[in-house]
Amino acid sequence: MLKRPELLSPAGNLTKLKIALEYGADAVYGSVASFSLRTRSAREFNLETFKEAIDYTHERGKKFYATINAFPFNSQIEPLKRHLQTISAMKPDAFIIATPGVMSLAKEIAPDIEIHLSTQANVMNVLDAKIYHDMGAKRIVVAREMNLKDVIKIKEEIPTLDIEIFVHGSMCFAYSGRCLVSSVQSGRMSNRGSCANDCRFKYELYAKNEESGVLFRLEEDENGTHIMNSKDLCLITHIKEIVDSGVIDSFKIEGRTKSEYYAACTARAYKMAIDDAMDDKFDAQIYENEINTLKNRGFTDGYLVHRPYERTDTQNHTSSLEEGTHQVNAISEDGEFFKCKYKIFPDKSYEIVAPTGSHIDDSENEISKVYSQDGKKFIKFKQLITKKGKVMSEIHSGNENEINLGVKLPKFSFLREKI
């Protein structure tokens, strides 16, 4: 019988962590700012809230992996030791680490905490996987450039090694973390957690005649000038095939800096896909439609199911960001009041997005009406009333008031509309 793979979601802050767990994640990963490759998002956790996040996750029977995958200088080794001691006392389920030296240090300081090798180590073959496993890595997050056949080979050769793959999220133009464009242009180094994502910028190309010094601008065609902009990885339609391989222990979603809705939508869609794959009722179009509601750079299935030379659609030369099919209008953290994320008007219907398995009854009162249509739940407001009782004619994202839903919805529900 096939083992159900773990669904691993990003936890950019405490709220996103809670949302990911509510929407189906089996585990989450996050960090404080020190020694992480996401220093911007990691600043949303301090040591107190990070401990709270780990405890909250464990109370729900889920796992928390602490990311410590930056590449330290000599001058940072002593601070790194103190950091490992501090985080290990919080009892995360694993450290995500990128270098052999930090692995060795972690095993010395916290021998009881698992080591997961970061994708930044760029493991592509059995030889490297075996070396890291022999050094103490319980799990390897293989390079995004890996092919499923090669992953299967690693599992066959090293059956005691857990294998984690990225199934969704941003793709690096270079091998993960090896690009130097950000360092050259802005002094922000990718392998130290401060990549400026320069590959997403729009560039103009020039040709120079060395003899005359004349500089010519190269005219661009309809493909635009986003010459280094990779599309986002999306393997949602291949989940059944990957599950059936029986070699993947964890499906990882990228995106600690992404929105609360992203945390919810990706966890929800991939949980449905995994559950349906296990139950042999997989329907790729359902999950693809859900993922397409997200803002994205265009989607590609990357390299896991194709060889690199077979890929013709991994780049988006036109734009660094595209709208999804839906606009997120509001979020309700407690299920009783909502905060506006875009616009809310009376007498207009909004689709309710709630954690998989939630039950929402149709209802109607003086504030709102909840009804079913085409297998989905919608809400229409008769009145927009703030938590303090003020009646509003409409609500926009700049309004910080919490607005009465009029009904009890599952916590961390979202309201959205089709664009």
Taking 3-state DSSP, the helix, strand and coil percentages for the chain, each rounded to the nearest 5, stand at 30, 25, 45
**pTM, to two decimals:** 0.89
Q: Where on the phi/psi map is residue 374: left (φ > 0), alpha (ψ -120 to 50), or beta? A: left
pLDDT means over runs of 10, the chain (419 residues) = 93 96 97 72 82 98 95 92 97 97 97 96 95 98 92 97 96 71 71 69 80 77 70 94 96 94 98 97 97 92 72 68 90 97 97 94 97 96 96 93 97 97
Compute the distance between CA of residue 28 and CA of residue 152 in angstroms, rounded to an integer: 25
Q: Which of 168, 107, 95 shows the shortest CA–CA distance to 135?
A: 107
What tokens were used for 379?
């809400």
Three-state DSSP state, 249: coil
Q: Give 322-388 as a DSSP string.
A: B--SEEEEEEESSSSEEEESSEE-TT-EEEEE--TT-----EE-SSEEEEEETTEEEEEES-EEBTT
Cβ within 8 Å of residue 13, ≥6 positions away: 41, 44, 45, 49
DSSP 113: S
Three-state DSSP state, 74: helix
pLDDT at 188: 72
Q: Report whether 129 contacts 99 (CB < 8 A).
A: no
